[in-house]
């Protein structure tokens, strides 16, 4: 094939003699170009658009009420009643209905999991991502191309982005944000905004003006009950439907997953953890002690250094989107059994108000703190804060009034996680890493609880006390 017809990711694979179809088996490309092909990938055409995707990426047709195909649902999605979307997903009105667009919006916003909803009809060409963009969305308006990582969008060499020098990003000194990628033209979508494919503009679709993010202390117990019921139902559905691995540490998040999964824990294929530095050594010890006390086996993956090839592959699959501490565990992650769901506790940091310092609770919004939490600057100073403040405020002003008292939480969901967690999960091709907590209703329930009770871990303790109090007897780390 002519090199000019290959995307950058293909070219990099060819240069290094790597198998594109394997490394990108969980990724996708959407464009109007019907002439392109990608080695080992599937191809589907709808309404003037062509979807290409790897063979391991789930793809369910989206149908209207009359059975007409109107789009694609990629990845793993659960409905509000914790039903796994399997063979198809139906929008419960006809595509000809005046209410079609509104129903699409509500339907795709209400899903949970790691997914991407693509609607392609005459009056509606949109892409909806999961609540924190664990299924990445990058795009180039000029070429009208959308894909899951930078190397799939580009057919050319990266045009350096002056705001984010590549060395700073790959070393972890700076974290990409505010739609930036390493390429000066390619943009990343923002969580809870749909992408309008007619003009490649973003539009917020959640939270709506009626969302409740202000719960009084007396109503917290009711919110916890709702949270536990919904998270437990999601876990039950995933564990009973797929081969699942539940990694456990000494931390709070995996402890809550364990508690909510307890009724179906016998169906989990593996309870495990990996040890790659001193803190994880303590984590694995605590997790083993806890499971042994419950009569369950625990598999430990021992420290193993990732090869240069593994690290280069990971960065390529991530679209060179940054660095994470988990890079040190890559060789162990790649030893997981093939084609399992890895159930992770990310996003649950909200239960601990991880984006708030005690002196910011109840205080006026602090731009310096907001910018610092995103990691967009090498060093947060008054000068660097001023540089990014207009971008922060442009994003902040899209929030409805009901959400503006929780700016740091929403920045975490919409500006930080897509560029860190979402990019990293995209780099794992052997399995699918999924967060059962990736659900707008669970997020609303959590952010709506008093920040002070989240910060002092009252909420964490209350969840475990209301589910399985004996799990509090083993120390946290």
Give the pLDDT confidence of 109-150 residue by residue, as tens digits: 999 999 999 999 999 999 999 999 999 999 999 999 999 999
Specify the CATH number for the domain of residue 71. Answer: 3.60.20
Together in a domain, 197 and 237:
no
Q: Give yes or no for a cis peptide into 64 (omega within 30° of 0).
A: no
- End of a domain among 147, 170, 204? 204
> Which DSSP string do the residues of 24-68 spell out, in sequence order?
TTT-EEEES-TT---TT-EEEEETTEEEEE-TTS-EEEEE-TTS-
Q: Is 141 in a helix, a strand, or coil?
A: coil
Is there a domain that residue 176 lies in? no
Please give the pLDDT value at position 389. Answer: 98
Q: Are residues 197 and 245 in the same domain?
A: no
User: Quick one: 273 and 387 in the same domain?
Assistant: yes
Residue at 435 is within a domain? yes
| Residue 194 and residue 229 share a domain | no
**178 part of a folded domain:** no
Over 60: is that where the pLDDT of 1 sits?
no
CATH number at residue 342: 3.40.50
Round to whole Å and give the CA distance between 390 and 274. Answer: 41
Tell me, yes or no, whether 182 lies in a domain: no
User: Residue 172: inside a domain, yes or no?
Assistant: no
Q: Write the pLDDT tens digit of every residue in 176-235.
A: 999 999 999 999 999 999 999 999 999 999 999 888 888 777 789 999 999 999 999 999
Residue 364: pLDDT band (50, 70, 90) is very high
**pLDDT given for residue 212 in this prediction:** 82
Q: 211 - beta bridge partners?
A: none
* Tens-digit pLDDT profile for residues 39-68: 999 999 999 999 999 999 999 999 999 999
Q: Among 138, 172, 204, where does a domain finish?
A: 204
Band (pLDDT 50/70/90 cuts) for residue 4 is low
414 φ, ψ to 5°?
Answer: -105, -30
Do 302 and 279 have their domain in common?
A: yes
pLDDT tens digits along 295-336: 999 999 998 999 999 999 999 999 999 988 889 999 999 999
Instruction: Report the number of distinct structural domains present in the chain.
Output: 2
Q: What is the pLDDT of residue 10?
A: 98
Any domain includes 174: no
Q: Dump pLDDT digits (tens) for 332-345.
A: 999 999 999 999 99
Say if residue 196 is in the same domain as residue 219. Answer: no
Choose one of 145, 172, 204: the last residue of a domain.
Answer: 204
Of 305, 291, 278, nearest to 247 by C-alpha is 291
pLDDT at position 453 is 95
Yes or no: say if 272 and 248 are a contact pair by the CB < 8 Å rule: yes
pTM: 0.96
User: Rounded mean pLDDT of the chain?
Assistant: 95
247 and 149 assigned to the same domain: no
* pLDDT higher than 80, residue 402: yes
**Could you give the C-alpha distances from 362 to 121, 401, 406, 459, in angstroms and in order?**
46, 17, 10, 18
- Say if 105 falls within a structural domain: yes
- Residue 393 scores a pLDDT above 70: yes
At 2 the pLDDT is 54
So what's the pLDDT on residue 3? 53
Residue 305 pLDDT: 94
In this structure, the answer to whether residues 240 and 136 fall within a common structural domain is: no
Task: Tell me: do 401 and 363 sit in the same domain.
Answer: yes
Write the pLDDT tens digit of every residue in 68-93. 999 999 999 999 999 999 999 999 99
Residues 265 and 151 grouped into a single domain: no
Q: Measured between alpha carbons, how far is 74 from 70 in angstroms, rounded to an integer?
A: 13
Domain membership of residue 465 (yes or no) is yes
| Residues 134, 217 within the same domain | no
Domain of residue 64, residue span: 3-157+187-204
Are 232 and 197 contained in the same domain?
no
């Amino acid at each position: 094939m002519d090199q000019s017809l290959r995307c950058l990711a293909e070219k990099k694979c060819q240069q290094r003699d790597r198998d594109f179809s394997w490394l990108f088996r969980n990724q996708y490309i959407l464009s109007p170009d019907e002439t392109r092909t990608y080695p080992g990938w599937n191809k589907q055409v709808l309404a003037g658009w062509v979807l290409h995707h790897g063979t391991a990426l789930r793809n369910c047709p989206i149908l209207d009420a009359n059975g007409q195909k109107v789009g694609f649902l990629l990845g793993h999605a659960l409905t509000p009643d914790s039903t796994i979307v399997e063979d198809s997903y139906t929008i419960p009105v006809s595509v000809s209905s005046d209410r079609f667009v509104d129903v699409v919006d509500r339907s795709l916003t209400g899903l949970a999991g790691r997914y991407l909803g693509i609607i392609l009809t005459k009056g509606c060409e949109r892409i909806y991502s999961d609540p924190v963009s664990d299924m990445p969305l990058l795009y180039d308006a000029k070429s009208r191309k959308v894909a899951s990582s930078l190397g799939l969008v580009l057919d050319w060499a990266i045009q350096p982005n002056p705001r984010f020098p590549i060395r700073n990003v790959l070393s972890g000194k700076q974290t990409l944000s505010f739609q930036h990628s390493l390429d000066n033209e390619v943009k990343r979508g923002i969580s809870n905004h749909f992408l309008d494919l007619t003009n490649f503009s973003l539009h917020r679709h959640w939270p709506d003006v009626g969302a409740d993010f202000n719960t009084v202390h007396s109503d917290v117990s009711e919110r916890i009950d709702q949270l536990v019921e919904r998270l437990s139902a999601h876990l039950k559905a995933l564990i009973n439907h797929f081969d699942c691995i539940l990694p456990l540490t000494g931390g709070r998040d995996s402890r809550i997953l364990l508690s909510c999964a307890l009724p179906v824990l016998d169906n989990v294929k593996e309870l495990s953890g990996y040890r790659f530095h001193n803190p994880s050594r303590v984590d694995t010890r605590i997790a083993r002690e806890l499971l042994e006390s419950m009569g369950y086996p625990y598999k430990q993956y021992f420290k193993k250094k990732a090869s240069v090839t593994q690290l280069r592959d990971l960065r390529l699959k991530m679209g060179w989107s940054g660095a994470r501490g988990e890079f040190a565990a890559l060789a162990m992650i790649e030893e997981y059994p093939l084609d399992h769901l890895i159930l992770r506790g990310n996003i649950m940091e909200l239960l601990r108000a991880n984006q708030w310092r005690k002196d910011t609770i109840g205080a006026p919004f602090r731009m310096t703190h907001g910018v610092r939490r995103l990691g967009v600057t090498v060093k947060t100073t008054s000068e660097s804060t001023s540089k990014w403040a207009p971008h922060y405020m442009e994003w902040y002003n899209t929030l409805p009034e009901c959400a503006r008292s929780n700016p740091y939480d929403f920045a975490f969901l919409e500006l930080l996680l897509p560029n860190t967690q979402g990019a990293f999960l995209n780099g794992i091709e052997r399995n699918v890493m999924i967060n059962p907590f990736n659900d707008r209703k669970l997020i609303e329930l959590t952010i709506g609880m008093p920040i002070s009770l989240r910060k002092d871990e009252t909420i964490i303790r209350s969840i475990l006390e209301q589910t399985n109090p004996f799990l509090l007897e083993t120390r946290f780390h």
